[in-house]
Structure 1
Amino acid sequence: MTTNANRNEGDIVVIGGGVVGAAVALGLARSGARVIVLDEGDVAFRASRGNFALVWVQSKGLGMPEYALWTRRSAQDWHGLAAILREEAGIDVVHSQPGGFVPCLSEAELEKRTTAMRRLHNQEGLADFPYEVLGRTETKRRLPDIGKDVVGALYSPLDGHVNSLKLFRALREASARHGVDYRPNHAAEAIEPRDDGFRVRGAWGEIAAAKVVLAAGLGNARLAPMVGLDAPVKPSKGQIIVTEKTAPFLHHPMGTIRQTDEGGVMIGDSQEDRGFDTIVGQPVISVMAERAVRTFPRLAGLNVVRTWSALRVMSPDGFPIYEQSEKHPGAFVVTCHSGVTLAANHVLTLAPAILAGELPAAVASFSARRFHVPVHA
Structure 2
Amino acid sequence: MKNTYDFAIVGGGLVGMAIAYGLAKRGQTVAVLDGEDASFRAARGNFGLVWVSGKGRKEPDYGRWSFESSRLWPTFAEELEDASGLKLGYSRPGGLNIALTEDSLAASVENVDYLYRQDARLTYDVLDGGRLRGMVPDIGDDVVGAVYSENDGHVSPLYTLRALFTAFAKAGGDYVPKAAVSTIERRGDGFRLDTALGTFCSAKLVLCAGLGNRDLAPMVSLDAPIVPLRGQILVTERVRPFLHYPTLSVRQTAEGSVLLGESAEDVGLDAGVTADIVAHIARKAIKPFPLLHSVNVVRAWGALRVMTPDSMPIYDESHACPGAFLTTCHSGVTLAAAHCELLVPWLLGGQLPPILDYFHAKRFHV
TM-score (normalizing by structure 2): 0.97
Alignment counterpart, residue 342 of structure 1, candidates 335, 351, 355: 335
From 140, 147, 155, give the equivalent of 2:140.
147
Q: Distance in 2 between matches of 1:352 and 1:173?
A: 22
1:56 to 46, 51, 58: 51
Q: 2-side partners of 1:268 and 1:312: how far apart?
A: 13
Structure 1, residues 178-226: CA drift from partner, whole Å, max 9, x if none?
A: 1111011111111111222001112222111000100001111111111
Q: Which runs of 5+ in 2 are unaligned?
A: none
Look up the match of 1:117. Answer: 112
Q: Which residue of 2 aligns with 1:293?
A: 286
Matched, 1:210 2:203: yes
Q: What SS does structure 1 have at the residue aligned with 2:181?
A: coil
For residues 246 and 228 of structure 2, the distance between their equivalents in structure 1, rounded to whole angstroms, comes to 25
**Partner letter of residue 49 of structure 1?**
R
Identify which range, 231-240 or 364-373, moves more after superposition.
364-373
Equivalent position SS for 1:295: coil
| Cα offsets for 1:22-55 (capped at 9, x unmatched) | 1000000011100000110222111001111110
- Further displaced range: 156-165 or 207-216: 156-165
| Bigger mean CA deviation after superposition, 314-323 or 128-137 | 128-137
The letter for the 2-side match of 1:138 is R
TM-score between the two structures when normalised by the length of structure 1:
0.94
- 2:17 counterpart residue number: 22
CA apart distance, 1:305: 0.4
Provide Cα deviations, 1:68-127, integer angstroms capped at 9, x if missing partner: 1100000000011012112222223122110000111122221222222233333x3x13
Superposed counterparts of 1:296-315, under 5 Å: 296-315=289-308
Q: Which amino acid aligns with 2:39?
A: A
State which of 30, 38, 44 in structure 2 corresponds to 1:43. 38
Q: What SS does the aligned partner of 1:356 have?
A: coil
Name the CA distance, whole Å, in 2 between partners of 1:86 and 1:353.
26
Shift of 1:239: 0.5
User: How many Å separate the matches in 1 of 2:210 and 2:91?
Assistant: 27
Which residues in structure 2 correspond to 1:209-358 (within 5 Å)?
Answer: 209-356=202-349, 358=351
Aligned to 1:69: 64
- Cα distance in structure 1, aligned partners of 2:115 and 2:121: 12
Partner Cα distance (1:178, 1:291) in 2: 44
1:146-176 CA deviation, whole Å, 9 max, x = no partner?
1111111111010001122211111000000
Q: Indicate the residue corresponding to 2:181 in structure 1.
A: 188
Residues of 1 paired with 2:350 and 2:125: CA distance? 41
Q: Which SS does the other structure have where 1:168 is aligned?
A: helix
Q: What per-residue deviation string (whole Å, max 9, x for no partner) do you get for residues 114-148 of structure 1?
A: 222233333x3x13311012111111111110111
After TM superposition, which residue ranges in structure 1, 4 or more long, deviate above 6 angstroms?
A: none
1:170 and 2:178 correspond: no
Structure 1: gaps of 5 or more residues:
1-5
Amino acid at match of 2:319: E
Aligned AA (1:90): G
Check conservation: 1:192, 1:198, Cα contact below 8 A. Answer: yes
Kindly provide the amino acid, as one letter, of the partner of residue 42 in structure 1: D
Task: Give aligned pairs, total.
Answer: 366
Letter in 2 for 1:370: R
Q: Aligned equivalents of 1:180 and 1:352: distance in 2? A: 17
Structure 1 CA distance, aligned partners of 2:82 and 2:145? 40
Alignment identity in percent?
A: 48
Quote the Cα distance in structure 1 between the aligned partners of 2:20 and 2:121.
Answer: 32
**2:221 is the alignment partner of 1:199:** no
Aligned partners of 2:178 and 2:196 also within 8 Å: no
**Partner residue, 2:85:** 90
Instruction: Please name the residue that 1:81 is paired with.
Output: 76
Q: 1:138 matched to which residue of 2? A: 131
